[in-house]
Chains A and B, each alone.
Chain A
Amino acid sequence: MINLETPKKFKPLISQANMVAQELLRPNSRKYDIAEHEYPVELDMLRSLIDGMEDGAAMGAGAAGVGKGGADGEKKKDDGGVKNGTNLSTALSIIEMCWGDAGLLLTMPGQGLGNSAIAAVANEEQLERFKGKWAAMAITEPEAGSDSASIRATAVKDGDHYILNGEKIFVTSGERADVVVVWANVDPSAGRAGIKSFVVERDNPGLKLDRLEHKLGIRASDTANFILQDCRVHENNLLGDPEVRTDKGFGGVMQTFDNTRPLVAAMALGCSRAALDETRKLLESAGFEIDYDKPSAHQPGCVAEFIELESDWEAALLLTMEAAWMADNRKPNSVQASMAKAKAGRSGTDITLRCVKLAGSVGYSENELLEKWSRDSKILDIFEGTQQIQQLIIARQLLGKSSSELK
């Protein structure tokens, strides 16, 4: 039965997340926007709180539970009915958390993107060994961003170890994490099929922190650059199949992103809803009434614009919920995941920037957070697949084109 409301059973989780956002993240938003690179100690308290909460994993960016399909894990019997599971609940709680602060969510202890990769491809022994570890993800290199198949970092077999060399940039939580999932090529002659991911302990002497970046936004989250210099990693730390298989290989590595794209869309939704909520308050305090029935042309310009922004937000929300719902119900959702990320990413930037404009100096000043949200939101249309990459993914699938045809 068609119903696009937030499921009742997630309401307690969502209100918990909203409380955390309101009481813990929002009050520290400006503090860590100014004090870039300073570790937000308040989050340690949150870590123990989340660990104690049922379904607390759904509160982080890493969201280890997503992508598995099915509601409430694998144990419950599949009754063939419609499911609302971890993918949807995680997306919905991320919206709340990023309504609080996207930067702080991104640096939530124990909830890195590397955790998603480990959850998706690690074997039983690895899952056990890396349990509770905060895992960052190192893919991007100075010469390889969206084109992640062309990474140059190498991994050379040496006995029961691999020796990693190369440079990794833009590693979210790279300084703060316990381990870093590093992408490197074990056989550059095999091209993308040779790309494997390795779990590298943060204290490995071959993993050298080069610098932390100064950014436009999400400053609470550290962004590290690493040099890999003869970094020895035990073969047991290779995630997935160690063999180079030209027939699949890279596609499997990329699958991690199918499940995390709706979550990044959710981050953009949370950040832009913060801006919409604030702008609505400001408009109403200035005496403007938001009347949904009145035709656009009869509204004051600012109200018409607000409803226009809210409409884009709603479209992005529903696309995100659709993509997550499909994952929960094991329906292939690659197109929908990219549609959600593309729409939420571009709308997030558009909404937050136009809210600043609507609010004037109140929006632009550091006295309020509107300007910060408009800086935070930009990254969400870039990382984990830029706007343009999402459009390529969608177009290739709709048009039935390969990456060599539609470049």
Chain B
Amino acid sequence: MATNTTYNKAANKNGNKSAADKSMALGLRALNKFASSSTIDKFKLRKPAEKAIYQASKNGFKAAGAVGRQFATKKGDKPARQPNAKSYGLFDLTPTEEQQMLVEAFGDFAQSELKPIAGQADHDCAAPVELLAQSTELGVTMIGVPEQLGGAVDERSAVTSTLITEALAHGDMGLAVAVLAPAAVSTALGLWGDGDQQATYLPEFVGENVPAAALAVMEPRPVFDPFKLDTKATRNMDGGFTLTGTKSLVPRGAEAELFVIAADLDGKPALFIVESKTDGVGLTSEPAMGIRAAATATLTLEDVKLPAGALLGDADPAVYAECIRLGRIAWAALAAGTGRAVQDYVIPYVNDRQAFGEPISHRQAVAFMVSNIAIELEGIRLATYRAASRADRGDDFSREAAIARQLTAKYGMQIGSDGVQLLGGHGYIKEHPVERWYRDLRAAGLMEGVLLV
């Protein structure tokens, strides 16, 4: 099904401004201020193209990746980069004012827009088109873009992205992944794109008609190692590349117009920019245990011919390693958000639920599970912040990303499982969201790529 959409109608249709809407507007205004500042207009040379959005559905889909706009190749100057954040040398858990404002805006958006439809979106294996439009209005794809290219944040923004990711996943993880998927591509271009790549693609991500886009790393094989890829890139005579292989669990795969794809080049993993309309790109719906609202798809690459300019980050192994680490931090942030949703849900439940003549929370066996959820959740959150803040300052963060990953895989899942357990049989049925969080949290410890902070 193809749908056209008008982006500005989505918000506040009934004209009834809640507090949530107001603070969302506040976040928007701030973003607009940044967005309107610098050279964005210079780059606004985009040809508006018909945007066909394929909705994944329960029934599945199979499509050639022929959708999407024409990204006219442009020449750019030197690539722009967000400068590293400065350190004031103090231990501090206080977000900056800008971060606080964004967290509030995205937090309100998550609670008022994502949370209420999370169950339906999980069932539909799709996020509503209007919702995705609304989220681009909030500027998700502008966070990781350098300011001089129309980005929203003047310094390296891993902490900002982490906080936003956590806030969105507090509403719903699957929808958060759907909302943030294009931001992974704009962040990748912001971090590693050369001048031409940034000039060609980034204006689209800071404009009004933001393309759906996705970062594809995962491959359908057990014990997947993102540093040893089956997807192969070979060099062509003209300096370009040919890609062959299969990527799994690609979010919004069917509607994505642009991909960043991990493939092996000369025995080392590298990243490639692939427009979905390129010949040989195929997509099949691949619903999974959870994060179903992200409309995950299998992406097949059959002799996909790419120009020389498709190689992102010069095939530098350090770039690829950074990409994997930033992805793991993002999944840890998602687990922190969903873990918080579990904690928020079980506390009133165990206080209300009566057994043997008193609330079940009066039993240590129940109460201690709640304590442990809180302890391990806070551990995940802090480890994730540490990894992200090191990334912002340009410090090595391989150890910290691995730690956030490990805590997410172990305790994130434990929190999901305990959430169901605390509700007993009621936790197992769809009347309560804990079964969905159980399914979603399994993803957070095993997924690679998809999102970047």
Contacts and interface: CB of A to CB of B under 8 A. Distances in A.
Interface of A: 1-9, 82-84, 88, 292-298, 307-308, 310-312, 314-316, 318-319, 321-322, 325, 335-336, 339, 342-343, 388, 390-392, 394-396, 398-401, 405-407
Nearest to B407: A311
Contacts of A6: 91
A84 B91 contact: yes
A392 B376 CA distance: 16
Nearest to B404: A311
A297 B226 CA distance: 12
B362 A321 contact: no
5 contacts: A1-B92, A5-B87, A318-B382, A318-B386, A335-B374
B370 A395 contact: yes
A88 B93 CA distance: 13
Contact of B90 (A82, A311, A396): A82
A146 to B, nearest CB: 13
A394 B402 CA distance: 28
A1 B88 contact: yes
Contacts of A315: 376, 379-380, 382-383, 403, 407
Given A2-B95, A399-B347, A391 B367 contact: yes
B362 A406 contact: yes
A395 B379 contact: no
A3, A8, A307, A406, most chain B CB atoms within 10 A: A3
B107 to A, nearest CB: 16
Contact of A292 (B376, B385, B398, B409): B398
A315 B375 CA distance: 9
**Of B99, B368, B371, most A-chain CB atoms within 10 Å:** B371
Contacts of B62: none
Interface centre among B95, B359, B374, B390 (most CB of A within 10 A): B374
B361 A2 contact: no
Interface in B341-391: 347, 350-351, 359, 361-362, 364, 367-368, 370-372, 374-376, 378-380, 382-383, 385-386, 388-390
A294 B227 contact: yes
Given A311-B383, A394-B371, 14 more contacts: A1-B92, A2-B99, A292-B401, A295-B224, A308-B410, A318-B383, A322-B93, A325-B92, A342-B371, A343-B379, A391-B371, A398-B370, A399-B347, A399-B367
A371 B5 CA distance: 66
- Give the 6 A-B CB pairs with smallest separation, nearest first: A315-B379, A318-B382, A395-B367, A292-B402, A8-B89, A4-B386
B351 A9 contact: no
A83 B401 CA distance: 27
A407 B362 contact: yes
A400 B90 contact: no
Given A292-B399, A293-B324, A395 B95 contact: no
Interface string B396-414: 0011111100110110000
A258 B96 CA distance: 28
A316 B379 contact: yes
A400 B351 CA distance: 9
Nearest to B358: A405
Contacts of B237: none
Most buried by A among B226, B383, B398, B410: B383
A82 B225 contact: no
A346 to B, nearest CB: 9
B310 interface: no
B406 A296 contact: yes
Contacts of B393: 3
Contacts of B402: 292-293, 307, 311
B375 A339 contact: yes
Interface string B315-339: 0000001001100000000000000
Contact of B389 (A3, A388, A405): A3
A314 B403 contact: yes
B375 A4 contact: no
A294 B375 contact: no
Contacts of A339: 374-375, 378
Interface string B100-135: 000000000000000000000000000000000000
B409 A296 contact: yes
B386 A310 contact: no
A118 to B, nearest CB: 28
Contacts of B225: 294-295, 298
A236 to B, nearest CB: 40
A335 to B, nearest CB: 8
A82 B90 CA distance: 8
Contact of B88 (A3, A316, A392, A396): A3
A308 B321 CA distance: 20
Given A318-B379, A343-B379, A311 B91 contact: no
Contacts of B224: 295
B407 A7 contact: no
A2 B364 contact: no
Contacts of B388: 2
Contacts of B265: none
B40 interface: no
B6 interface: no
Nearest to B387: A4
B230 to A, nearest CB: 15
B379 A2 contact: no
A394 B370 CA distance: 9
B116 to A, nearest CB: 25
Contacts of B347: 398-399
Nearest to A346: B375
A392 B223 CA distance: 39
A82 B403 contact: no
B368 A395 contact: yes
Contacts of A88: 91
B14 interface: no
Nearest to B367: A395
A269 B389 CA distance: 22
Contacts of A319: 375, 378-379, 382
A314 B402 CA distance: 11
Contact of B96 (A1, A336, A392, A398): A1
A388 B368 CA distance: 8
Interface in B208-255: 223-227
Contacts of A2: 92-96, 99, 159, 385, 388-389
A294 B402 CA distance: 9
Contacts of B382: 4, 315, 318-319, 322
Given A7-B89, A293-B227, A319-B379, A401 B362 contact: yes
B342 to A, nearest CB: 13
A278 to B, nearest CB: 18
Nearest to B410: A308
A294 B383 CA distance: 18
A314 B91 contact: no
B91 A310 contact: no
Choose among A2, A298, A321 the residue with the greatest number of B CB atoms under 10 Å from its CB: A2
A4 B385 contact: yes
A322 B224 CA distance: 35
B148 to A, nearest CB: 22
B159 to A, nearest CB: 5
B288 interface: no
Nearest to B86: A1
A325 B91 contact: yes
Contacts of B89: 3, 7-9
